[in-house]
Structure 1
Amino acid sequence: MHFVTGGAFHGKAKWVMETYSASRKMEGWFNLYDAVCPEADEFKTSLVVLEGMEQLVKKVVQANKKGTREVLKKKLHAWLEWESALPGRRLVLVGTDIGKGIVPMEEENRRWRDVSGWFFQDCAMAAEKVHVVWYGLEQTIK
C-alpha cells in the first residue's frame, strides 16, 4: 500500500497520476469527495486509488459516536487483504492533512480532525511507502 498525504490543493493527485501513469477517469480511481467509499470486494482493477481519505473519516465520524477508529481499521485491514491476495495489485490512499491550523470549536469537527490524524497514522504504519506532497513537491517519509 502507498499512502500519500499533504495539504489541500498541493498536488497530491497530480503526483499520484504522474507516478502511476493513472487518471482520475480510470475505473480504479475513486474520488471520495463525490462518492461513497467502495468495499474491497468491489475493486475491479489491479491499481486502486482512493482519493479523499479525510472525507471517508468524516462520514464515519458522522455515523458513529464511538468506535470510529475501529471501523476505519477494519476497512484498512480489508483493503490490505485485497492488495495482498494477488501479485501486482496496488492500493494508493490519498488524504488531505486537516490537522494543522486552528482547532475547530465544534465537537464533531474536532473529532473529525482527531480521528483523521489517528487514521492517517494507522495508514502510514501499514503502508509500504508514504509520501507527503506540499506545494507540488514530494517528500519520501517511508
Structure 2
Amino acid sequence: MHFVTGGSFHGKAKWVQEHYSASRVAEGWFNGYEDASWETRDFTTSLVVLEGLEQLVKKVVEENVIGGRAALRGKLKLWLDWEASEPDRRLVLIGTDIGKGIVPLEKENRLWRDVTGWFYQDVVMAAERADVIWYGLPQALK
C-alpha cells in the first residue's frame, strides 16, 4: 500500500496520476469528496486509488464517535487484505493533511482532526511507501 499526503491543492492527485499512469475517471479511482461510500465497494481493478481519505474519517466520526478509530482500522485491514490477496494488486490512499493551522473551535471538527491524525499514523505504519506532496514536489517518508 502506498500512502500519499500533503496540503489541500498541493498536487497529490496529479502526482499519483503521473506516478501510476492512472486516470481520475478510471474505474479504480474513487473520490471521497464526491462520494465517501467507496469504502464498502468491491474493487474490480488491480490498481485502486482512494482519494479524500479524510472525508471517510469525517463520515466515520460523524456516525460513530466512540470507537471511530477502531472502525477505521478495520477498514484499513480489509483494504490491505484485498491488496495482499493477489500479487498484482496495488492500493494507493490519498489523504489531505488537516492537522496544521488553526485548531477548530467546534468540538466535532477538533475530533475529526484528531482522529484523522491518528488514522494517518496507522496508515503510515501499514504502508510499504509513504510520500508527502508539497507544491507538487514529492518527499519520501518511507
TM range (shorter): over 0.9
- Answer whether contact 2:32 2:55 (CA < 8 A) is retained: yes
TM-score of the pair, normalised by structure 1 = 0.98
Which residue of the partner structure matches residue 132 of structure 2? 132
Distance 1:37 1:80 in 2: 18
Equivalent position SS for 1:37 = helix
TM-score of the pair, normalised by structure 2 = 0.98
Structure 1's consecutive aligned runs of 4 or more residues displaced over 3 angstroms after TM superposition are: none
Deviations 1:48-92 (A, max 9, x none): 000000000000011012000000000000000000000110000
Equivalent position SS for 2:74 = helix
Task: Pick which of 105-114 and 35-44 moved more.
Answer: 35-44
Matches within 5 A, 1:82-93: 82-93=82-93
- Answer whether contact 1:54 1:95 (CA < 8 A) is retained: yes
Amino acid at match of 1:103: V
- Answer whether contact 1:30 1:37 (CA < 8 A) is retained: no
Matches within 5 A, 1:1-142: 1-39=1-39, 42-142=42-142
Q: Point out where structure 1 has 5 or more consecutive residues left out of the alignment.
A: none
Deviation at 1:37, TM superposition (A): 3.2
Distance 2:52 2:38 in 1: 13
- How many corresponding residue pairs? 142
Root mean square deviation, CA, Å: 0.9
